[in-house]
Amino acid sequence: MQHPQQQQQQQQLADPTPLIYDKETEDDNRERKMLQDLEQEIECPRCYDIMVLSSNFDSLYYFCQECSLSLLMN
For residue 19, the model assigns a pLDDT of 57
pLDDT given at position 50: 94
Confidence (pTM): 0.51
Res 64: pLDDT = 96
**End-to-end Cα spacing for the chain:** 57
Long-range pairs, 66-71, Cβ under 8 A, ≥24: 69/44, 69/45
Taking the domains of the chain in order of start, what are their residue ranges? Answer: 39-74
Burial tier of 71 (Cβ tally within 10 Å: 0-12, 13-18, 19+): middle
Query: Which pLDDT does position 71 carry in this prediction?
Result: 94
Output DSSP code: residue 38. Answer: S
Predicted confidence pLDDT, tens digits, the chain (74 residues): 556 666 556 655 555 555 565 666 777 777 777 667 778 899 999 999 999 999 888 888 999 999 999 999 87
Beta bridge partners of 51: 42, 64
CA separation for the pair 35, 27 (Å, rounded): 12
